[in-house]
Amino acid sequence: MTNGNSYVWDFSTNKTYNCGITTAGAGTYRFMWNITDKTMSVIYPNFIIYRSGDKAEDPRATGDDVESYAGGTISQAIEFRMKVRELDKWYTLCLPFTVSAVKVWETDRYYDLVPFYRTGGKYYTGDYIIRTPEQTTDFPIADFDNWNDPTNPTGYLPSANTPYIIQWHDGYFQDKYVSFFGAADQTILSFSAGSAPSSDNVVNVHGNNSMQIGSVAGAYLLENDYGSSGAWLRAEDVSEARTILPFECYILVNSPTRARYRAIRPGMATTDTPTGLETIISDDQQANKIVINGQIYIIRDNKIYTIYGMEVQQCNESYISS
């Protein structure tokens, strides 16, 4: 127990409190000693969770903080910290608790953050962009562009077990840790894989709302689309089981849809024969696979496409091999 504790007078109770810190037991706890009543109350620390891989780089992290957790009820208030490693990048987020505040740590204190939001036909700037899909089950691929912005600056806080995409644009946030706060007595479940839809050309959007690393066969992961298709988001499948990190979102489709689309983007047309820049060229009997400089391409209708459906404008025939 430390010495040099400070005294605080509480005018509401007309009592003096001696405030200090103790490191007895697991973790560090603040306490308040009521000199008048000779009773002590303990203020428990937050249960601090880091996004996978972020704890090691935070100088504020302690040995009590975690990146994984087997599951169960957390009696302390929760603080989830994630490092903004890239600006203008979509991160996915699905938390197992309802968020009461979003803040950033600067020097010696937290500052509140608010999102961009859209209301009355106008778009208002904020500290970050957060969107949620118009629907999470049987979400038509043709409507994949319909991810909704908040409609007001106070009703933006993420709800429990709800998939979101989130990004930061302002250079101030580069390498900053953003914290999402939740109340105490939250229950975190163990990992359970989501289900695929039964219908064609629709997706189910899921989130790993556990603190365990999961594996889901046939999952598409959401990410930025840096290609030339003009789309702002892409869900990509690599035809194998995907590792799903805690609080990360993913998409599932049924087998016929997965056989036709290696990636899903806003604005895609769901036709029987994928063509052009918006859709994916399936490696099937109707298409010829070639290799150019070690990369796989598809020939269809006398044109060459990448496996993501983008037409190759120029090609040196000397580099083509079957």
pLDDT (0 to 100) of residue 284? 41
Structural domain includes residue 215: no
The most confident of 56-70, 255-269, 279-293, by mean pLDDT: 56-70
pLDDT at 161 over 60: yes
- Residues in contact with 213: Cβ distance below 8 Å, sequence separation at least 6, in sequence order: 52, 68, 191, 243, 244, 245, 246
pLDDT (0 to 100) of residue 168? 92
Structural domain includes residue 55: yes
pLDDT at 239 over 70: no
pLDDT band at 149 (very low <50, low <70, confident <90, very high): confident
Let me know whether 84 and 150 are in one domain: yes
Structural domain includes residue 206: no
pLDDT (0 to 100) of residue 298? 65
Question: By percentage, how much of the chain surpasses pLDDT 70?
Answer: 64
The most confident of 33-42, 154-163, 204-213, 262-271, by mean pLDDT: 204-213
Structural domain includes residue 174: yes
* Number of domains, the chain: 3
pLDDT at 297 over 70: no
* Strand order through the sheet with 147-148: 91-93, 164-167, 129-133, 147-148
pLDDT at 241 over 50: yes
Nearest to 41 by CA among 67, 59, 15, 65: 15
Bridging pattern class, strands 147-148 and 39-43: unpaired
Q: Which amino acid is at 153?
A: P
Structural domain includes residue 210: no
SS3 55: helix
Tens digit of each residue's pLDDT (9 = 90 or more) over 191-234: 999 999 999 999 999 999 998 999 998 888 887 765 544 456 67
Pure H helices in 100-186: none
Let me know whether 125 and 109 are in one domain: yes
pLDDT at 27 over 80: no
pLDDT band at 264 (very low <50, low <70, confident <90, very high): confident
Let me know whether 59 and 35 are in one domain: no
Tens digit of each residue's pLDDT (9 = 90 or more) over 48-84: 999 989 999 999 999 889 998 888 888 889 999 999 9
- Residue 128 contacts residue 115 (beta carbons within 8 Å): yes
Tell me the pLDDT of the chain averaged across its residues: 76
Place of tokens 């229950």: 187
Interior angle at CA 317, CA 312 and CA 319, nearest 5: 90
pLDDT (0 to 100) of residue 59? 93
- Tell me whether residue 297 is exposed, middle or buried, using C-beta atoms within 10 angstroms of its C-beta: 0 to 12, 13 to 18, 19 or more: buried
Average pLDDT over residues 148-165: 85
- Residues in contact with 316: Cβ distance below 8 Å, sequence separation at least 6, in sequence order: none
Nearest to 160 by CA among 207, 98, 81: 98
Residue 85 corresponds to which tokens in the numbers above?
């490693």
Structural domain includes residue 266: no
Let me know whether 61 and 164 are in one domain: yes
Average pLDDT over residues 285-300: 58
Let me know whether 181 and 153 are in one domain: yes
Residue 313 corresponds to which tokens in the numbers above?
């404008």
Tens digit of each residue's pLDDT (9 = 90 or more) over 89-131: 889 999 999 899 999 999 889 999 999 888 887 888 889 999 9
Structural domain includes residue 167: yes
- Residue 261 contacts residue 284 (beta carbons within 8 Å): no
pLDDT (0 to 100) of residue 301? 60
Positive or negative: CA dihedral 48, 54, 57, 63: positive
Q: Which domain holds residue 319?
A: 281-322
pLDDT (0 to 100) of residue 76? 87
Let me know whether 108 and 38 are in one domain: no
pLDDT (0 to 100) of residue 14? 52
Bridging pattern class, strands 117-119 and 129-133: unpaired
Structural domain includes residue 243: no
Instruction: Report d(CA 280, CA 278) in Å as an integer.
Output: 7
Q: Who wins on pLDDT, 23 or 293? A: 293
pLDDT at 320 over 60: no
pLDDT at 274 over 90: no
Residues in the chain: 322
